[in-house]
Amino acid sequence: MKLSFKKYNNELVVRPYGEFDLHTVDIFKEKLEQRLTEDINGIILNLDGIKFIDSSGLGAIIGTYKRISKKGGVLAIAKATPQVERIFEISGILKIIKLYPSEAEALDNIVGR
């Protein structure tokens, strides 16, 4: 898995590429941990580059959600592929994490929350 990060004020945009599964979830957690600072209030996961996700990837997303929520922040998902969006629907993740069609729309909706 490749990851890119971009910080916008107090929000962090995370763009993973490849497969989000048992073999890559530790890379995601490690790299995200390195970039989470006290001033991060929101995280946007731009999943446009993810073609496959398994239960380990879902667990990492839920863990990230719990961590940012605990400090009063928000996690949003942007640009999930249809296959990934379907898995989110089936798993119930979309009941707790909002999905946006674009990164810009996600940023507009979480800034200042």
pLDDT digits (tens, 9 = 90+) for 50-85: 999 999 999 999 999 999 999 899 999 999 999 999
Beta pairing, strands 11-20 & 2-8: antiparallel
State the residue for tokens 């398994």.
Answer: 54
Q: What is the mean pLDDT of the chain?
A: 94
**Domain 2-107: top CATH class:** alpha beta
The first and second tokens of residue 43, run together, are 């995280």
Beta pairing, strands 74-78 & 98-100: parallel
pLDDT digits (tens, 9 = 90+) for 9-41: 899 999 999 999 999 999 999 999 999 887 899
At residue 37, the pLDDT reads 81
